Structure 1
């Protein structure tokens, strides 16, 4: 393959969930993904989806499929790295401490509290949503 600019950008992230309605409400409340971009339903197989968008344009698709199961829950991001595939969803935030506290207050679980990141001036933290999915919060360095 040649070095071609594909115009690559993130369109959305997809997350399989056990309870679409509960997770939808939590992501709307805790992360501000208030806008519903689309909803979809299939009868066979039994699948429901919703795509949520934040005011800044971040999109998250939640998918509920009857009978889906989790192989195992991850304790933290290092534990997630023991399994191949996506381990967490990382989002940037303006104010890490405020975002972390708000997400935990909305029912998210604290995994790693706010700390300095490897990138100078950046900070990060990890939380879990109510179903145990890992979310990394990153506050980029101030320009």
Structure 2
């Protein structure tokens, strides 16, 4: 990926220099259904769970990556996002849009996801300016996941 010429170098002297990505939180209405979908369709692994009042929290990670996690916040009071047929329609909702997972091959991932009946929201696209090939999928609650491959 090419960087914008005005991007400053990393600042190791910043008081925030130790910050690194850790996890993304996803609100889901039903804990058991969400765990079943993410473990059954995407091969995520459940690392831990805990109760927090009426909610259940869980940390999950991809099949072969312990460094990135998704936190489920499950329980009553959750409104699902709409299921979109076109990626452009998703841009109408403010806030967090998606999370992205790096893959070796977008096309191989899509082949397997279709066999697992995962909703594919966009056709794979190349973005040479970003150095990526990408596709968007959705869980049953409308949460978007981008799969990105380095070109």
Larger radius of gyration: 2
Shift of 1:101: 2.2
Q: Is there any run of 5+ residues in structure 2 with no aligned partner, and where?
A: 1-10
Q: SS of the residue aligned with 1:13?
A: strand
Query: Alignment partner for residue 61 of structure 2, among 47, 53, 68?
Result: 53
Deviation string, structure 1 residues 1-28 (Cα, Å, up to 9, x no partner): xx51522221111100112111112211
Is 1:92–2:119 an aligned residue pair? no
Aligned with 2:111 (options 101, 106, 129): 101
Question: Aligned residue for 2:26?
Answer: 15
CA deviation after TM superposition for structure 1 residue 66, in Å: 0.8
Q: Structure 2 vs 1, CA of residues 7 and 74 (structure 1 numbering), >3 Å: closer, same or farther?
A: farther
Q: TM-score, normalised by structure 2?
A: 0.78
For the 8 Å contact 2:87–2:122, the answer to whether it is kept is no
Work out whether 1:129 is the aligned partner of 2:139: yes
Matched ranges for 1:108-123 at <5 A = 108-119=118-129, 121-123=131-133
Q: Which runs of 5+ in 1 are unaligned?
A: none
Distance 1:41 1:92, change over 3 A: same
Q: Is the 8 A contact 2:100 2:147 kept in 1?
A: yes
Quote how far apart the aligned CAs of 1:74 are: 5.5
Q: Distance in 2 between matches of 1:26 and 1:104?
A: 14
1:83 corresponds in structure 2 to 93
Q: How many residue pairs end up in the alignment?
A: 135
Which residue of structure 1 lines up, in the alignment, with residue 17 of structure 2?
6
